[in-house]
Amino acid sequence: MFETVLVANRGEIAVRVIRTLRALGVRSVAVFSDADADARHVREADTAVRLGPPPAAESYLSVERLLEAAARTGAQAVHPGYGFLAENADFARACAQAGLVFIGPPADAIALMGDKIRAKETVRAAGVPVVPGSSGSGLSDARLAAAAREIGMPVLLKPSAGGGGKGMRLVREASALADEIAAARREARASFGDDTLLAERWIERPRHIEIQVLADEHGNVVHLGERECSLQRRHQKVVEEAPSVLLDEATRAAMGAAAVQAARSCGYRGAGTVEFIMPGGDPSSYYFMEMNTRLQVEHPVTELVTGLDLVEWQLRVAAGELLPLAQREIRLTGHAIEARICAEDPARGFLPSGGTVLRLREPQGDGVRTDSGLSEGTEIGSRYDPMLSKVIAYGPDRATALRRLRAALAETVTLGVPTNAGFLRRLLAHPAVVAGELDTGLVERVVAGLVPAEVPEEVYEAAAAVRLDALRPAGDGWTDPFSVPNGWRLGGVPRPVSFSLRVTDPVEYTPRGTHTVTDDQVSVTLDGVRHTFYRAGDWLGRDGDAWPVRDHDPVAASLTRAGLAGADSLTAPMPGTVTVVKVAVGDEVSAGQSLLVVEAMKMEHVVSAPHAGTVTELDVRPGSTVAMDQVLAVVAPHEEAAE
């Protein structure tokens, strides 16, 4: 076993790897950008090395700096986690050339499986069923369109490089192929630096099933059963579970054998995942999609149903050890489900969010596990992936695991940063999810009913209770009646105390219930029902949901630049970085014209003109960092601009 391992990543996966290194008695080395100088993974590692400023290209993606950090700290091996350089064949080769063990598959296997076209051809030759689609690399637009027509509409256009659903486009009409191919190439080129595309048959209401494999350098390959990953939004997984309710033992064995063959076909070593797609109504039909040559985000559900620590066996395999178990000895026991907690705001269309973690509560124990990189005081910015943590529940059966996970999400508190925890709790209670009737489009079909349209009255009641409590005079002696917030007036009828508050729209609210306020909680009773919230700063939270409730001064608000400009002002929809500015002051624009692009956490948002007019103000340029709701530009209607 290694003496020292460098963890070439950040956040929750770095903390996760460090935990296993500590259990094995292996010294851990963390790396960090300036933005992560006080991050949890830095504090928990045995030592840490600064890489550079926040841009990933100058820190976590800098092969030169990572290798230098390994050399300076005496590391013998590098664990890449997932994301960043985890599936970068050049990084794996560079580690080997520097005398470091890359805790992952050989570089050639990474390169082969990273090319979706070559991967499909390789596993097809090994007898693994693949989705019908185009063949060959470097197809022209015309040949790709012809292949799509031959497959039969609808088809899915996919970048050959990259993953995570980026650049994928569903095309239902042959007449749209030319435009969609051009758009898909642009997106693939921007995301991966490679605009090679393939076309695949679209499977209606598909289920996404993946098989975990482990391979050692002695020729042994086993699978650890499947994970159901069909609950997705925008092609991104949000909930995963093991095992799948869809598979019987015969199908599980067949898919597992196919995954093992796929791993053997590329000379695999370490932990990897073979992803399959299948029609929801026909579990006997399954097709290879791709192989992820790294540890998966959802690996904890496999750990809980098998009792194996996958990070430990990544390390042991990389150190040359034999796999401990034969296939016949591997058993799946119970059921596990994972929910991904992300910095995103469901009320704003799931746009990336940010802020400072003011209060943190992460459930552990009683069949619940949280993998997290958070601590109170953590700053969540827009530079990195939005996933903050993962809450995983285990039980003897699926119903128990679901119930425990819903309860754990209700106990999860991340005040100061909007997250999707409450949304996920409601999703896990949806009848189709409870019944196991899943497909990759389910979340998009039901999402509108899972995002509350209004702020509950008890939120305003709790916010008003906090403000009332702050106004009460301290001490037990004589109290000036004018200082008591009870609406008392000299010689007049008491006037109810009210507050102007704002979550989304301003609300004038008069408290009408009873309440109890402490430093970290507030309880209010309305119409005989008691509601308890966690509190920190302007934030209130319960059952996984959170609300920033701020005082609203209508006069002050009207005097801000956004208030003065009114509907003419364009504000940042999320905290992030302005990547594109397409106009200048004085330019005439049309309604809906794209003016700027704001990027955060790998998501781009186009800011468009609210109406035809003239750009009278422009306060940002490419590279500008902006806060949520910050004024970016002002577009005055033509008549106002003339005045």
The candidate with the shortest Cα–Cα distance to 275, out of 260, 263, 292, is 292
The candidate with the shortest Cα–Cα distance to 384, out of 62, 55, 626, is 55
482, amino acid identity: F
- Whether 203 and 279 have beta carbons less than 8 Å apart is answered as yes
- Whether 31 and 69 have beta carbons less than 8 Å apart is answered as yes
DSSP single-letter state for residue 133: B
Residue 355's φ and ψ, nearest 5 degrees, are 140, -170
How many C-beta neighbours within 10 Å does residue 529 have? 9
In DSSP notation, 511-524 reads --SEEEE-SSEEEE
The candidate with the shortest Cα–Cα distance to 456, out of 536, 514, 542, 528, is 542
**Strands 529-536 and 335-342: what pairing?**
unpaired
Q: State which residues of the chain have pLDDT below 50.
A: 641-643
Per-residue pLDDT of 382-398, as tens digits, reads 888 899 999 999 999 99
- Whether 147 and 138 have beta carbons less than 8 Å apart is answered as no
Residue partners of 492: CB distance under 8 A and separation at least 6: none
Tokens of 445: 């079909």
In the chain the first and final C-alpha atoms are separated, in Å, by 76
- Whether 271 and 299 have beta carbons less than 8 Å apart is answered as yes
Tokens of 544: 């996984």
Exposure string over 324-333, b if 16+ CB within 10 A, otherwise e: ebeeeebebe
What is the C-alpha to C-alpha distance for residues 448 and 427, in angstroms, rounded to an integer? 11
Residue 52 parent element (H or E):
strand 47-52
Residue 278: what pLDDT?
92
In DSSP notation, 178-220 reads HHHHHHHHHHHHHHHS---EEEEEPPSSEEEEEEEEEE-TTS-
The candidate with the shortest Cα–Cα distance to 222, out of 157, 180, 268, is 268
4, amino acid identity: T
Residue 76: what pLDDT?
98
Exposure string over 259-288, b if 16+ CB within 10 A, otherwise e: bbbbbebbebbbbbbbbbbbbbeebeebbb
Residue 9 parent element (H or E):
none
The candidate with the shortest Cα–Cα distance to 7, out of 111, 114, 100, is 100
Residue 436: what pLDDT?
96
What is the pTM for the complete model shown?
0.87
Q: Cα–Cα distances in Å, from 500 out to 452, 552, 556, 578?
A: 22, 5, 12, 33
- Whether 52 and 62 have beta carbons less than 8 Å apart is answered as yes
Per-residue pLDDT of 536-559, as tens digits, reads 999 999 999 999 999 988 776 665
Residue partners of 505: CB distance under 8 A and separation at least 6: none
Residue 641: what pLDDT?
46
Strand order through the sheet with 27-33: 47-52, 27-33, 4-7, 77-79, 101-102
% the chain with pLDDT above 70: 93
Residue with tokens 């079909």: 445
What is the C-alpha to C-alpha distance for residues 425 and 413, in angstroms, rounded to an integer? 13
- Average pLDDT score, the chain: 91
The candidate with the shortest Cα–Cα distance to 313, out of 222, 210, 244, is 222
Residue 280: what pLDDT?
78
DSSP single-letter state for residue 430: S
The helix/strand/coil state of 477 is coil
Domains within the chain, CATH numbers bracketed? 4-103 (3.40.50.20), 132-201 (3.30.1490.20), 207-450 (3.30.470.20), 457-473+482-552 (3.30.700.40), 563-642 (2.40.50.100)
If you compute the radius of gyration of the chain from its CA atoms, what whole number of angstroms results?
Answer: 27
Torsion of CA 292, 295, 298, 300, to 10 degrees: 150
Distance of alpha carbon 606 from the chain centroid: 20
How many C-beta neighbours within 10 Å does residue 320 have? 11
How many C-beta neighbours within 10 Å does residue 415 have? 27
Residue 295's φ and ψ, nearest 5 degrees, are -70, 140
Three-class secondary structure assignment of 323-362 = CCCCHHHCCCCCEEEEEEEECEEHHHCCEECCEECCEEEC
The candidate with the shortest Cα–Cα distance to 230, out of 207, 252, 248, is 207
Residue 374's φ and ψ, nearest 5 degrees, are -95, 160
Residue 83's φ and ψ, nearest 5 degrees, are 80, -175
- Whether 523 and 516 have beta carbons less than 8 Å apart is answered as yes
Residue partners of 549: CB distance under 8 A and separation at least 6: 459, 460, 462, 463, 501, 502, 503, 538, 539, 540
What is the C-alpha to C-alpha distance for residues 227 and 610, in angstroms, rounded to an integer? 45
